[in-house]
Every structure is written in structure tokens, then in C-alpha cells.
Structure 1
Amino acid sequence: MLARQRQAVILEEARRTGAVRVSDLVVRLGVSDMTVRRDLDVLASRGLVEKVYGGATSIVGKSTDEPGFEAKSVRQRAQKEAIAALAAGLVRPGTAIGISAGTTTWTLARALDEVPGLTIVTNSIQVADVLRGANQPDRTVVLTGGVRTPSDALVGPVAVQSLRSLHLDVVFLGVHGMADGPGFTTPNLTESETDRALVEAGRKLVVLADHTKWGIVGISTIAGLEEADVVVSDDGLSDNARETLIEQAGELMIAETAETAEAEEA
């Protein structure tokens, strides 16, 4: 098992039970005490767990916590780039697509420079800025109106009304969290309504979410796991999460992240 996969298992267990013990993880993962402690150090450095004597406790933000765009943009960069590159292959020239707000969808927008003839609808100021700067004279970019959130999404009645009159080939949705039961969620009630309108406007739903989103539950559900035609995640996603998504979503695509052999063995 690779380091990212071990860490995903540890994080999922910490979130499920509230705490993990080094001794238990050694047995479960079949690795040394030192390896488990290094994994906990990595998770603690990311602010995902708090180390305590003999193990670690989960740090789960409130269901209404909403980090700003800049804060989120520095997290899991390699994973987001790999996810975006894989998802970009699902975009066909000359189609109409929707892109929700979020740092992973923003990374996808940057990966669409070579796709001609697109009409792109988004409620993200950041995504619109990226698309506006692309050298694609035959591209149309539609930015919904609305009220700005901390994550630079435009939400509310104006955004919802504009989306309800549209028909899109594919919608690419970024999410705050995904879990068995609650599905794909957000910490912003108004944003969830806008995202649902975007989802309903598309014939196909593609959800982009790195492995750290698994087990996170925001206050409001955007869509159930079964509503996703495709989920694109990265190779740090745990086996349990993969099994759940394969069973419930239409298709699971795993992006391989480019990391050094030293990082893989750490």
C-alpha cells in the first residue's frame, strides 16, 4: 500500500471513530510503528488530525465551515492537476459545458486551452477569469450573476434563475465533501441551491473530488452519489471509498499522481 493510500485509510478511520491508535494501525496496515507515526505526522501537518500520545484524534471542521478560495487553492495541488488532466479528456469540441466554483474545477478550466468551440457556463469568478484569458476566439463564456461567497462562487436567486433556462451537455461539479449517505455536499446553503440548478441543467454530471473530500460532510447536499455519471478522484482514495463509489456512481475514474519514488515509500 502506498503512503497516500495508507494516509487515506488512517484519515477515514479517524473521522469514523474520532481517534486512532498507532498500535491498532500497525496491525491493520501491516507496517512498522515508525511508518504509522510518519503518516500521522503528514496528516497532522495538513491539519487533518491532531497527534496525541499513542495516536491521533480527528479534526473535522464544522459542517458550515467554508475556507476562502486562496486557502483551498494550495491544498492537494498535485492531485487536483491530475484530476483536471483526466477530466479534460471528457470534454468534446463544440459542446456546451457547465463548471461549478471550486479550486479543482478552476484547475480543470486551465486544462481546457486546447479544446475548441466550447460554450462554458460557470458561476465562478475565478473560473471565468481563467477562461477569459485563454486564446480561443471561438469560445463563449457565460458567467451567471449572483451574490459572491468566500469561495468566489456566485449564488442565489439570480444565479439559479439564469441556470434553469439552460441545457448543457456536461456539468463538472466541485464539492466540499462526499460520503456514503449524505452524498456530495457543501457548507453553504445558498451555494447548494445554485449547484443543484447547475446539475439539473446538464445531461451528464461529472464530479471532481480529491481523496481528502471522502468522509467530509457539509451542511447541505448537492446531489446523491448515485446522481453522478462519473466521479474523478485520485489514487489516494481508500479502497472502501472506491468500492462505495463504484457501487453507487455511474463510473469512477482514478487519476494517477506524479510523485517521486521517495515520497511513495515515505
Structure 2
Amino acid sequence: MKNKKGVIVKRQQTILQRLQKEKEVSVDQLANELGVSPLTIRRDLIDFENQGFVKRHYGGAKLIEGTLFEDPTLEVPPATGQDGTTDYRRVVAKKAAELIEEGDIIFVNSSKTALLMLDYISGKRVSVITNNGNAITSSHDPLVSIILTGGELHGTKCSLVGDFALATIRKIRANKCFIGVSGITAEGEISTAVLQETMVNSLMIERAKDMVVILADHKRIGKLHNFIIADTHQITHIVTDELADEAVTSRLEKDNVTILKGHITD
């Protein structure tokens, strides 16, 4: 992320990672390490306090336990449950897969919605670079090549994160990326609920040269989670479903983003 907002997001992610690891941070120490003024760090901590992550004190802040949470929507049910309800993540994944073409090199993040796209790619030679450890056991067309980024295995989602994963992604220039997210607001803030995955998601977006596709079923449209990974000026498409809030999607289209909606009968 090369713009000013991207610099701010990366700095705040670094601070949050430090908080999660050490539980408490010093304003002066962070300012020195990050090469910014103490005032800048204090503003970041005020922002975190307003979001309920930290309790500030003289010279620093302390993490409020239990506030940096994992994504609460991890499990993916079958396409139709016993109660007849539809899994809209599959609806979104199927629609997003229509954007994939012969010869594509694509990034796919650790989102289970994004990984479900593998079920709908057939008859095309495609290279998939992903930090989703579950890709190892996912069924896919023999023409689809799966390349794992490597990295530290994190959480129940089996996502691959950390410096090793980032180093791999930096060496690749994909033509498309598909990022499943926890939320996207009408103002264009795209977010995830998992701190450790923010840098991977942001870098995949940065390293995709042609198409950046956000996958978000209607439950995520209009929502904001803890960690901002991008805004609508960095993406080309949003794939959602027919129940997405029309007011929000119409507002997002004004940012020159193409909105695609999957339907149950598709």
C-alpha cells in the first residue's frame, strides 16, 4: 500500500501486533522504533481506545484482554442445510469463479469463501497462490496448480502468516487476487477480524496487477471489523449475493467498483 492511508494502516497494525504480544506499549519506545513523533503514536492509541482495544495511561497503553478476536464466522456449512437455508458463501464463491480465465495466476487469501472457489474452477489452467493451509486437502480440477506461500500456521483457519509468507508474496506478480473479508462499509473501508492476516491480505492486493476482487456475502456488507486492509480505491470488483444491502452497494459503485451479485438459482 503506497498511499498515506496505507502507511497509517501498516503502522497501526504494527502497534496492535506489539500489543497482542506484550500486552502493554510505551509511546516513546514506539515513536523511536517507527520513526514518527510521540504525538502520532498517541493519536493511534486514542483511536484504539475509542475502538475499545486499549486503556491508555501516562506514557503508554495497555491491551484490554479479549478485544483482538478471531473471525467468528469460520465454519462453512454445506450449500443447503437441513433447515433449507442457503450458504451464501458458496453463492459468492461460484460467482467469483466466473472471473477466472485460462492461464490466470491468482492470489487467494485464507478466507473459506475464497477457498470455495476451487469447487467452481474447471477446464482451465490456473495457478493459485494461497496462504490457506486447507488448500492442501481441498478438491480441485487437475489443471489447477496450488502453491502455498509458506509461513507460520495460525489459528483454526490454518492460515499461513508472518514474514515468510510475506516474502513469498513479494516475489510474485499475480494478475488477479480474490480476498474474502469480514466486512466492507458504505464508505469503502474493507476489514478483517484477524490481526495476523492483515498484512498478507494487504500485500496480495498490492501485488495484483489487473483485478482485485473482494468476496463478501450480504452478512458482511455494511459491516466494519477490527483491522482495515484496503479501501475501494484499491479494488476493481466486489462479489456478493442478492440479499446485499442495495443502499450500500449503490454507494460503493460510485467509487468505480463493479458489483457482482450471485443468485441462488445461478
TM-score, L = length of structure 1: 0.66
Q: How far does the alpha carbon of each residue in 1:129-153 deviate from its partner, in whole angstroms, 9 at most, with x for none?
A: 31xx4341x4322101112222221
The structure whose RCO (Cα within 8 Å, separation 6+) is larger is 1
Following superposition, the deviation at residue 207 of structure 1 comes to: 0.7
> In 2, are the aligned partners of 1:231 and 1:253 still within 8 Å (CA)?
yes
Q: Output the amino acid matched with 1:212.
A: K
Task: Return the match for 2:94 from 62, 73, 85.
Answer: 85
Q: Is the 8 A contact 1:96 1:169 kept in 2?
A: yes
Deviations 1:149-181 (A, max 9, x none): 222211111111100110101100000111134
Amino acid at match of 1:237: A
Deviates more, 1:197-206 or 1:163-172: 197-206
Aligned position for 1:72: 75
Pick aligned residue for 2:228 from 190, 215, 221: 221
CA contact (8 A) 1:100 1:172 kept: yes
Amino acid at match of 1:193: M
Indicate the larger mover: 196-205 or 179-188: 179-188
Aligned match of 2:164: 158
Quick one: distance in 1 between partners of 2:86 and 2:106?
A: 24
Equivalent pair of 1:176/1:187 in contact (CA under 8 Å) = yes
Q: Which runs of 5+ in 2 are unaligned?
A: 1-65, 79-84
SS in 1 for 2:219: helix
Shift in CA distance, 140/185, structure 1 to aligned 2, threshold 3 Å: same
> SS of the residue aligned with 2:103?
coil
Residue in 2 aligned with 1:147? 152
Partner of 2:105: 96
Matches of 2:106 and 2:242, distance apart in 1 = 26
Greater strand fraction, Structure 1 or Structure 2? 2
For residues 30-41 of structure 1, the aligned pairs below 5 Å read: none
- Counterpart secondary structure, 1:87: helix
**Aligned residue-pair number:** 193
Aligned-partner SS, 1:84: helix
Amino acid at match of 2:130: T
Correspondence 1:93-132 to 2 at 5 A: 93-112=102-121, 114-130=122-138
Q: Distance in 2 between matches of 1:145 and 1:68?
A: 24
The structural deviation recorded for 1:63 is 6.6
Partner deviation per Cα, 1:197-229 (whole Å, 9 max, x = no partner)? 111111110111001002322221111022220
What value does the CA root-mean-square deviation take over the aligned residues?
Answer: 2.3
Q: Which residue in 2 is equivalent to 1:170?
A: 176
Could you say if the C-alpha distance between residues 91 and 182 of structure 1 is closer, same or farther in structure 2, counting changes exceeding 3 Å?
closer
